[in-house]
Amino acid sequence: MFKSSASTTRYLSRGFAQRRLASTKTVRDVLEEVIPKKQLQLKQLKTEHGQAVLGDVKVEHVVGGMRGLKAMLWEASVLDPNEGIRFHGMTIQDCQKVLPAAPGGKEIIAESMFWLLLTGKVPTEAETRQLSRELAEKGELPEYIEKLIDSLPTTLHPMTQLGMGVAALNHESKFQAAYEQGIKKSEYWTYALEDSINLLARLPALAARIYRNIYNPGKPIPKINKDLDLVGNYANMLGFGDNYDLTEYLRLYIAIHGDHEGGNASAHTSHLVGSTLADPYLSYAAGLYALAGPLHGLANQEVLRWQMSMQKELGDNISHDHIREYLWRTLKSGQVVPGYGHGVLRNPDPRFMALQEFCETRPELLADPIVQLVKKTYEVAPAVLKEHGKTKNPYPNVDAASGCVLYHYGLTQFKYYTVIFGVSRALGCLTQYVWAKALGLPIERPKSLSMDAIEKLIKQ
């Protein structure tokens, strides 16, 4: 059960009050108010606390992928090992209480999460609808992008196609054009914001065209409906517009998956490339290719494949004991249990719990054998992994549940799942791009060492 602290209650109360106001501000208007305060905060941090120590760098950090090293500024979210993700201090459950849904829907939508990530404020209904309208009006793909995507072989991985399409959209970059004209650094963020909104607006049409070309060649793609939210249009263009429950699931999945701190591979890559003053399109294209790796964004399809293999082997009426035996066979064969463990988290992923709660409100999902198997696995796996003793976090992450619901509702093409993740993660990466320019963050350039250099330093 969600338990709110006094500060959270005040925050939520303020959020509900904000929703009641019929504000006509745009996201740019709000940022123009918020950015000077953040710029001052950063200036004070550098001036007054620049020499404060946040932690010691150890050899295990250098040779272990910098895991856990506090070395990156990321404004929109912080990942606590025990509590999970917080967006400007708000948990997923907080967000579900106050962030506007789509008309007729119940789940958080991408626009309200994007607004929160960018501004740190809860948008009103009017502000959310205004942003939805803007994204819909800017959502059509340029003809040259359509021709590019249509020219690609259908055997080319959908993530490769998505990255190519996003990179090619930099032909439209307002940031790049303004930079070439010699704009002041203080103006970078305004062009970064324009590019980010334009890119976010076009991602559904781009992702849907890739899906159509690979899985439903020749099928007409519906036009963007300017009265729908971003994900409502995405589901419609995918061919699932009449499936209310899948659309609601996609809204929830994309909103809560939109940002997960800055240290994950896709966010970090996007931030690194953006620090060179590459435009948001090139920055996020790079992040997408990090997301495409099996150790990152491909995990949800690997989990579903593993669960289906378990179901095929064990048959019907799978008991907890059957699952326990299957888990041990998996571990003893040298394999990992997909969907369990996380680089930071040490408790069940709140995103997993939110998706489980979604399933529990729908009888058709509770009756689905794969959804049941995911739930039963969650009831058994942590104890097995604790006994095994080689997993720091024996609890499920979001990937343990995300794919099975897509599969149930008819989106059964595993290779495409990471594209949906790619549409989602744009919310956080583009937010950070805007803030990196607003705060004047420098190019990222950590110091590297050879093993000989490390040994020399240790001796000294």
Please enumerate in sequence order all residues whose Cβ is within 8 A of that of 2, keeping only pairs 6 or more positions apart, or say none: 91, 93, 94
Q: Which of 88, 257, 342, 408 is labelled catalytic?
A: 342
Q: Is 296 part of the annotated catalytic residue set? A: yes
Q: Which of 257, 349, 399, 408 is labelled catalytic?
A: 399
Both tokens assigned to 414: 């595993």
Distance CA 33, CA 30 (A): 5
In the chain, count H helices and then E strands.
22, 2
Q: Which helix (H) or strand (E) holds 116?
A: helix 110-119
Concatenate the DSSP letters of all residues of 256-279 into one string: HTS---S-SHHHHHHHHHHTTT--
| CA dihedral over 43, 45, 47, 53, signed as positive or negative | negative
CA 430 to chain centre: 11
Nearest 5°: phi and psi at 102? -75, 155
Is residue 235 a contact partner of residue 410, using CB atoms and an 8 Å limit? no
Q: Is 229 part of the annotated catalytic residue set? A: no
Q: Which residue has the tokens 């009641």?
A: 20
| CA dihedral over 286, 133, 141, 107, signed as positive or negative | positive
Distance CA 311, CA 229 (A): 37
Residues in the chain: 460
Distance CA 420, CA 432 (A): 20
Q: Is 245 part of the annotated catalytic residue set? A: no
User: Which one-letter amino acid corresponds to residue 415?
Assistant: K
Distance CA 111, CA 234 (A): 13
In 66-199, DSSP assigns E strands to 77-80, 84-87
Angstrom distances, CA of residue 5 to CA of 75, 93, 108, 325 = 22, 13, 22, 41
Distance CA 211, CA 64 (A): 37
Q: Which residues of 442-458 are buried (b: 16+ CB within 10 A; e: fewer)?
A: eeeeeeeeeeeeeeeee
First to last CA, the chain: 53
Please enumerate in sequence order all residues whose Cβ is within 8 A of that of 432, keeping only pairs 6 or more positions apart, or say none: 74, 75, 76, 262, 267, 270, 271, 274
Q: Which of 80, 157, 245, 296 is labelled catalytic?
A: 296
Q: Is 4 left (phi over 0), alpha (psi -120 to 50) or beta?
A: beta
Catalytic annotation, residues: 296, 342, 399
